Amino acid sequence: MNIRKYIDLRLIGIVGSCLLIVSQFSSWYSGLSLINIFLITTSVAIEDSFLYLFPLISGIICFIGTFLVLYKLEYKLNSVIINFIGLGFFLIFIIEIVPKDFLYIGSVGFYFAVIGALLILLDVINVLKLNNNLIEEGN
């Protein structure tokens, strides 16, 4: 059974980006979504509040990067660079916010975000492998 016959593997990045965006609006800490936590921390401590928007920003950036490769296959390298920038924002979020409140995480939003980031990383590997295959075919 060939899975490539049924599913375009380039859609993995779109699914991962959508999961990152959905994770922003699903519960993370004690039943609150990150958008709710952002609104609460904006009124109290502004310096860390913008970090709670990083999964949303990361999901949007990675969605744009993945859409580029779906739009035109020649934009593969640009897509990989944009996806790494988006994953960098998510990595900053994971390093800065999650260790402080790790005991309270166990909700759906965290798992959506981690699975989404892993799917985006798999999409980057798939795009780079596709790039390698096209180079070998050209020689």
Tens digit of pLDDT for each residue in 103-130?
666 678 888 888 999 999 998 888 888 6
As given in the structure block, the two tokens for residue 47 are 């310096």
Query: 57-75: per-residue pLDDT in tens?
Result: 898 998 998 888 888 878 8
pLDDT digits (tens, 9 = 90+) for 11-54: 888 888 888 888 888 887 777 778 877 777 787 767 777 777 88
**Using CA atoms, how far apart are residues 17 and 66, in angstroms rounded to an integer?**
8
Q: What is the pTM of this model?
A: 0.81
Please enumerate in sequence order all residues whose Cβ is within 8 A of that of 123, keeping only pairs 6 or more positions apart, or say none: 9, 10, 12, 13, 16, 66, 83
Q: Record the tokens describing residue 122, joined without a space.
A: 């798999």
Work out the angle between the directed axes of helices 54-71 and 11-25 (0-180°, nearest 10).
160
